[in-house]
Structure 1
Amino acid sequence: MTYDFRDKVIVVTGGAGGIGSAMCHRFAAGGARLVVVDIDETRARRTAAELPGTGHVGLGCDLLDRGAVEGMADHVAAAHGRIDVLVNNVGMTSAERFDVRSVESIEREINLNLLSPLVTTRTAIPLLRASDDPRVVTTVSLGGIFPLGETPIYTASKFGLRGAMLAIGLDLGSKGIKAGSVLPSATDTPMLRQEAVDGGNSMQFQDPPQQPADVVNAAVSLLDKPRLEAYVRPGESRLVRFAMLAPNLLPKVFPLFRKRGDRGMARYLEDLRRRGLARQVDGRWELVEASA
């Protein structure tokens, strides 16, 4: 089956980001009406204005503010009366190591990556039930299966989000709402570029980063064929799932992949330099700000 996007009301959180905006463009091209939700209202509105078709809107919303989430739902209810597809795509990471970062930053990352998709989904339930074919798609990560040693808070949030969405999919599936998750690995987005120049987790650079369009294809496949999980790179997902059969061996396995990951991140940084997206200043990498 091929999902029919025509006249569907689709809400995408983190909708102005690299993966989120790519999803919005793909869905809008199929005839959907998009609600682009982002903490940056200006970017949300700009993304909505650039989408093909009509009926799109960009909303600024801090997903850590429950009142703001309820206000966003009220706006959708007034404009459309339903949500056909809710896409929980918001997320963040940090290159700060666990032993030096603030407790406040730990709480914020856990709350944004794990708690906010659950609160947003729960808040959207009445609007989803108003749809003839309600769906929930959540962007998780292979970091929800395999621990990323340099980013334990991201790992914790994604482990929790994967488990929660599996359980929610089982629960809501019996109530007429199909819920599934997409599990991408490193994806060439502004978030990954920032992590690379900050010296983040090199383990995720075993292979060249995938593109946002690859993640979008996996999300569309969930709509075409509803299931609990879809993997952007199936071979990669099988490898990490196999590795987790014996987690006590991870300290021995990690060094085998570290050098390859370091080389992969170095190649990615050089690629960013060639594309004019990053540069080295006094031996340190930094992103090049886009001209206005």
Structure 2
Amino acid sequence: MSGYDYTGKVMLVTGGAGGIGSALCRRFASGGAVCVVVDIDGDRAHQVADSLPGAGHLGLGCDLLDRVGVADLFEQVAAAFGRLDVLVNNVGMTSTERFDVRPVETIEREIDLNMISPLVATRLAVPLLRASADPRIVTTVSLAGIFPQGETPIYAASKFGLRGAMLSIALDLGTKGIRVGSVLPSATDTPMLRREAVDGGNSLQFQDPPQQPSDVVAAVVSLLDRPRLEAYPRVGESLLVRFSMLVPNLLPSLLPLFRKRGERGLARYLKDLRRRGLARQVDGRWELVKEA
């Protein structure tokens, strides 16, 4: 079975200037695709677009919580290309603020960005996707869309909702010629995870060393090569969490068994960040070192 042909395909990636997003764009462009790099930081979006192999790439700044701005984004894509072959919903955020003390406004923002904005982008992209001979939608969800996260419940809520929505949309749009799939990575070594680590985030996700953006890229590529509803960068890990959810009432007893291992994994990750010059300790507290 031949793999997906990227040649000449117009592929839009939200969060395209981030760790996973930029890696996706590089992979797509290296195969001959034309990338639309979308990021809230317009300058970084332009930088990523300009750095990609090939020609015709477009970097666009867009706040995906701005409905008018998102509509304008797809109007620009329509004007530039007249179609969209692949939409990759990759934007996301998390917070280490505990649920019982965080401001309500931050809860709403996290839900809006992680769950609502991909749905809005997907809906607004449909006319452009219908102009493609082989339209696809790929969404970066998370294993947090299957397994509860005590320290980051709003992130889990947004990903549970996003996973369910994308499964449902796949069943609907699949009958209309648009193939939809999701990737569900675990902790990935990106700036977002580094921030969470130094801020004392969810230690349970550090049972094993974080995967690399390239692992998520490989899962996305596999979805394009062989369309299906979901793909998991770490299949064994996904089987463990899915099995655990067969007995959710046992979670309060099971999770403490994994917490100490996760805390040791988090400590190792922080030391690795220090070794790489990405984090340091100041007065006993960890902080990120600004990347050049």
For residue 54 of structure 1, give the secondary structure of its aligned residue in structure 2: coil
Equivalent residue letter for 2:169: I
Matched residue, 2:98: 97
Separation in structure 1 between the aligned mates of residue 58 and residue 135 of structure 2, nearest angstrom:
20
Per-residue Cα deviation, 1:214-238 (whole angstroms, up to 9, x for no partner)? 0000000000000000000000000
For residue 12 of structure 1, give the secondary structure of its aligned residue in structure 2: strand
Matched residue, 1:136: 137
Separation in structure 2 between the aligned mates of residue 78 and residue 266 of structure 1, nearest angstrom:
49
For residue 78 of structure 1, give the secondary structure of its aligned residue in structure 2: helix
**1:88 is aligned to 2:61:** no
- 1:35, distance to aligned residue in structure 2 (A): 0.3
Matched residue, 2:176: 175
Per-residue Cα deviation, 1:204-256 (whole angstroms, up to 9, x for no partner)? 00000000000000000000000000000000000000000010000000100
How is 1:1-292 mapped onto 2 (pairs within 5 angstroms)? 1-291=2-292
Per-residue Cα deviation, 1:145-186 (whole angstroms, up to 9, x for no partner)? 000110000000000000000000111000000000000000
5+ residue gaps, structure 2, are none
Q: Tell me the TM-score normalized by structure 1.
A: 0.99
For residue 150 of structure 1, give the secondary structure of its aligned residue in structure 2: coil
Separation in structure 2 between the aligned mates of residue 254 and residue 290 of structure 1, nearest angstrom:
34
Equivalent residue letter for 2:210: P
Q: How many residues of Structure 1 are paired with residues of Structure 2 in the alignment?
A: 291
- 1:290, distance to aligned residue in structure 2 (A): 2.1
- 1:121, distance to aligned residue in structure 2 (A): 0.2
Q: Tell me the TM-score normalized by structure 2.
A: 0.99
Separation in structure 2 between the aligned mates of residue 265 and residue 56 of structure 1, nearest angstrom:
38
5+ residue gaps, structure 1, are none
For residue 256 of structure 1, give the secondary structure of its aligned residue in structure 2: helix
Separation in structure 2 between the aligned mates of residue 135 and residue 126 of structure 1, nearest angstrom:
12
Separation in structure 1 between the aligned mates of residue 201 and residue 48 of structure 2, nearest angstrom:
28
Per-residue Cα deviation, 1:45-82 (whole angstroms, up to 9, x for no partner)? 00000101001010000100110010000000000000
> Which stretches of structure 1, 4 residues or more, deviate above 4 A after TM superposition?
none
Separation in structure 2 between the aligned mates of residue 124 and residue 57 of structure 1, nearest angstrom:
16
Separation in structure 1 between the aligned mates of residue 238 and residue 24 of structure 2, nearest angstrom:
22
Separation in structure 2 between the aligned mates of residue 164 and residue 191 of structure 1, nearest angstrom:
24
Separation in structure 1 between the aligned mates of residue 242 and residue 209 of structure 2, nearest angstrom:
20
Percentage of identical aligned residues: 76
Equivalent residue letter for 1:68: G
Separation in structure 2 between the aligned mates of residue 115 and residue 279 of structure 1, nearest angstrom:
35
Separation in structure 1 between the aligned mates of residue 254 and residue 130 of structure 2, nearest angstrom:
46
Separation in structure 1 between the aligned mates of residue 128 and residue 291 of structure 2, nearest angstrom:
38
Separation in structure 2 between the aligned mates of residue 51 and residue 97 of structure 1, nearest angstrom:
39
Separation in structure 1 between the aligned mates of residue 291 and residue 147 of structure 2, nearest angstrom:
34
Separation in structure 1 between the aligned mates of residue 122 and residue 42 of structure 2, nearest angstrom:
21
Per-residue Cα deviation, 1:76-102 (whole angstroms, up to 9, x for no partner)? 000000000000000000011001100
